[in-house]
Structure formats: structure tokens, C-alpha cells
Amino acid sequence: MQHALGDLPGRIVDRQRLRALLGHLARTLHVGFLNDCFFDPATAACLDRGRAGDRGTPILPHCSPDRCPNACITHRHLPPWQASIAEAGHLLKDKRLSPLQRRALIDDNARKRRLIDELTEDAPP
């Protein structure tokens, strides 16, 4: 099965690949607002390795979908990412931001854009 699917990436945009992963009995899909998770505790970025224990589920609020191979972002996740980018753009218009605040917003928006870039290129009309 792994040969047919390849390594599980942080983003899955192909519906056929998503269906194949859902059909694999060793993977459980955990649905989230910003991303879904095909949880594997051995590679889960959301778990604190020192205190994770035998946790059998992801901690979705701690997810770093741009760094976790378990994360799955699809077209239905685009609106909250795009809204977050737009909100940061609105905040950047404030002249009172410190240089550090401005840099943090710019860098975070760049990270978010890279994360959803493949999806926005293939976005349905």
C-alpha cells in the first residue's frame, strides 16, 4: 500500500489519494477546522515527546500542518486560512505596529500562503 501511495505528505490535494488513505485500516482520519489529521503518534508534531505517553489521538489545536506529515489540508480548509491571511493584512495597515510585530505578521502570512499555495492553484471556480 505504501508503494502505491508514497509517503504521507503534509498536504493532500488529490481526492483519489485521500480516498485511498481513508480506505487503509491502519489510518484514522481526525477532522479539524484548519486541517485534518491521519494520526501517527510516531511522527505527530502536536505531541510533546516528553509528556505524550500513549496518546492515541492528535492534539489538533497544537497542530503545525506545515511541519507535520500527518496533516491533511483540502479545499474545504481554504476559507479559514484565507480569512486569517486577510486579517493579518488588515492589521498590517496599522501604522502603530512595532517593526517586530510587522515582521511577525508578514512572516506568518508568508508561511500560510506557502501552506495553501497548491490548493489555491487548483481551487474550484
Running DSSP on this structure, what letter comes out for residue 96? Answer: T
Verify that 10 and 23 share a domain, yes or no: yes
Report the number of distinct structural domains present in the chain.
2
Is residue 72 helix, strand or coil?
Answer: strand
Verify that 19 and 37 share a domain, yes or no: yes
Q: Please name the residue ranges forming H helices in 15-98.
A: 15-23, 78-92
Q: Is the pLDDT of residue 118 over 60?
A: yes
Please give the residue range of the domain that contains residue 93.
76-121
Verify that 83 and 23 share a domain, yes or no: no
Verify that 91 and 104 share a domain, yes or no: yes
Question: What pLDDT was estimated at residue 27?
Answer: 66
Mean pLDDT for the chain overall: 80
Verify that 59 and 83 share a domain, yes or no: no
Please name the amino acid found at residue 122.
D
Q: Is the pLDDT of residue 72 over 80?
A: yes
3 grid coordinates? 508503494
What is the C-alpha R_g of the chain?
A: 17
